[in-house]
Amino acid sequence: MQKQEKHQGFKPQENLVSILPSIIAGIFILSASIATVLIYFPPLNPIYKIAIILYWILGCLYLAFYYFFFTTSLNKSRFTWINSIILGIALGGISFLIPMEIDHLLYTLLIIAAMSTSIISTRGPSYFLVFSAATIHFITRLQDQVSNPQWMTHIGLVIASFMAIETIQQLKKVAREQINRLEIINELSKQIVSTLNTNQVFSLLNAAFQNALEADAYYIGIADEEDIHLELFYDDGEFYENIKVKRKGTLANWVITNQQELFLPDLRQNVELDDVEMVVIGKQKTSLSWMGVPMRGVHVDGVMSISSYRPNAFHRSDMELLSTIAQRAALALDNTYQHALVEQQARLDSLTHVYNHGYFIKALGEQAEICLAQNQTLSLIMLDIDHFKQYNDTFGHLTGDEILVSLCDIIRSHIKNTDAVGRWGGEEFVVSLPNTTGPQAMQVAERICATMASLKVRNTSHITIPVPTMSMGIAMFPSETDKIIKLIDIADKRLYTAKKRGRNQIEPATAFWDETKEIN
């Protein structure tokens, strides 16, 4: 997400709303000033009268052009300075045409011009307009007998013009920041709901933090039993990964537990919260401002926090923005979690929760590629429960299902996280063991058999019933074959060899691997 461009002024339609009242007021005050001069201070010189009327006509036409230009033109930046120069000279020069008694009308025009210029431009052109008009006006009035109170009034009105400019600039700054934040939220909302990748969600949230909030540190923490896992953690220019902190006593835990926003503008003061202690993570520097909001969804329970090493670094508007981002984040993370759950269900067997037939082949292919690239071996175990149909008929299908689930739990307890187990058929399973030799796979198979034999199974009457035996076949990649399908076929044939030999055994025997080792 790219940082939003900050505008110097408002958009054309916003200028239309803002400038029109100023234009109307300017024309009205200008007309009132000229009418006052002509009615109450009638000029003795006809040329002077013509000059007054001509000034009024040109002034009204310029204001009309001013309105038309700023509501239709796309390039206004150059005209802002030209406009300031023209208005500064015109409003200062009118002092030669109107008497000192109606200077208040002149300054009313100046304030209106300063406000309208400030709306459409920055401080520079606005200040120049007021300064140039006031300077010309003061020089003109030096020739007149102006009393000290009148001079003070003039100075006060000039200061009022500068204050009007500054007020509008501050309001524009606040409005720009608000618009920028809304644009960031809208952009974040569009992007975040369209991704189903958790890492991409955190990447988008990181960009939103960088663009929308000025913070020295921020993090997104997900509650994990007694800990909080910081999925995204940034502190003073550095990102941290795989950070876990104990929940108890932290500000984050208070937010999660109470499901309330927490705004601490100045941490130099004592924090009066139950069961809360100040915990420093990341850089060994103490934050002086801290904000946290809860981030809860159907599958997500966490906290989103920003902090600063300066006191009073944040405002309530920052809290509102952070809360809005947290709501979007919780929804997006819920979506990614649900998507991952659906994907997991699609690749797992519904009863035993091991890989189904199709996904196991895919996983085996990926493991084989890695082993081949790293010059490692891979062993495959095919196993089948002996006389399982007879077992089901004797003790019932519910007991049979319990046996299948227990067998998979036992297999998982004897293999590594990098290994894989899948359900090949009804009571037939397959286990892939990357970076494992045939003799090592034999040891794993023997441990599975021993653990299975020691399993205690009881029926609905709480009577202990016998546990079925298993037959297994082992094949090794790539020494026996470098083809996945062929590897499965070898293991499968050896499984059936074990069954033909009387079941409850592993094929090939340990001697086979010893002979293979001697040949190699």
487 class by beta-carbon count within 10 Å (0-12 exposed, 13-18 middle, 19+ buried)? buried
Which residues in the chain are classed under CATH 3.30.70.270? 357-519
Q: Which CATH class is domain 357-519?
A: alpha beta
In angstroms, the CA 60 to CA 58 distance is: 6
Residue 118: Cβ-neighbour burial (10 angstroms; 0-12, 13-18, 19+): buried
Question: For the chain, which residues score pLDDT lower than 70?
Answer: 1-18, 44, 73-78, 144-147, 514-520
Q: Which two tokens stand for residue 441?
A: 């796979």
DSSP 417: T
User: CB–CB of 305/327 below 8 Å?
Assistant: no
State the amino acid at position 430 in one-letter form.
V
Q: Which residues contact 150 (CB under 8 A, 6 or more apart)?
A: 100, 103
CA distance 407 to 391: 15
pLDDT in tens, 343-387: 888 899 989 999 999 999 999 999 999 999 999 999 999 999 999
Closest CA to 79 of 29, 120, 33: 120
User: CA-to-CA distance for 183 and 203, rounded, in angstroms?
Assistant: 18
HSE-CB at 338 with a 13 A cutoff on CA atoms is 11
CA distance 470 to 453: 9
The Cα–Cα gap between 397 and 391 comes to 9
Token pair, residue 85, equals 């120069």
DSSP character string of 40-103: HS--SSHHHHHHHHHHHHHHHHHHHHHHHHHHH-S--HHHHHHHHHHHHHHHHHGGGTS-GGGH
Answer whether 368's CB lies under 8 Å from 231's CB.
no
**511, amino acid identity:** A
Helices (H) and strands (E) in the chain, counts: 15, 14
Give the Cα separation of 361 and 485 in Å (integer): 9
- What is the distance between the alpha carbons of residues 289 and 309, in angstroms, rounded to a whole number? 7
Q: For 144-214, where are the alpha helices, taking DSSP H only?
A: 148-192, 198-212
CA 56/CA 89 separation, integer angstroms: 15
Strands, E, within 309-400: which ranges?
378-385
Query: Exposed, middle or buried, 55 (CB in 10 Å: 0-12/13-18/19+)?
Result: buried
Domain with CATH 3.30.450.40 in the chain: 198-344
Confidence (pLDDT) at 273: 83
Contact 109, 91 (CB under 8 A): yes
Which residue is it, tokens 């029109």?
Answer: 20
- Which distant-in-sequence residues (6+ apart) come within 8 Å of 68 by Cβ? none
SS3 content of the chain, % helix, strand, coil (to 5): 60, 15, 25
Distances (CA, A) of 240 to 25, 209, 235, 283, 330: 58, 15, 8, 10, 21
Q: How far out from the chain centre does Cα 413 lie? A: 38
Q: Which CATH number fits domain 198-344: 3.40.50.2300, 3.30.450.40, 1.10.150.120, 1.10.357.10?
A: 3.30.450.40
Round to whole Å and give the CA distance between 107 and 115: 12
CA-based nearest residue to 488, from 476, 502, 503, 506: 476
- The confidence score (pLDDT) of residue 118 equals 86
Tell me the pTM. 0.60
* Burial of 238: CB neighbours in 10 Å, binned 0-12, 13-18, 19+: exposed
Q: What angle do CA 491, 492, 494 make, to 5 degrees?
A: 65
**How far, in whole angstroms, is CA 478 from its chain's centroid?**
46
Element spanning 136, H or E: helix 123-141
pLDDT digits (tens, 9 = 90+) for 231-269: 999 998 899 988 888 888 889 999 999 999 999 999 888
CA angle 415, 421, 425 (to 5 degrees): 145
Tokens representing 82 are 């030209």
User: CA–CA separation, 319 vs 294, rounded Å?
Assistant: 11
Name the nearest CA neighbour of 329 among 306, 308, 301, 307.
Answer: 301
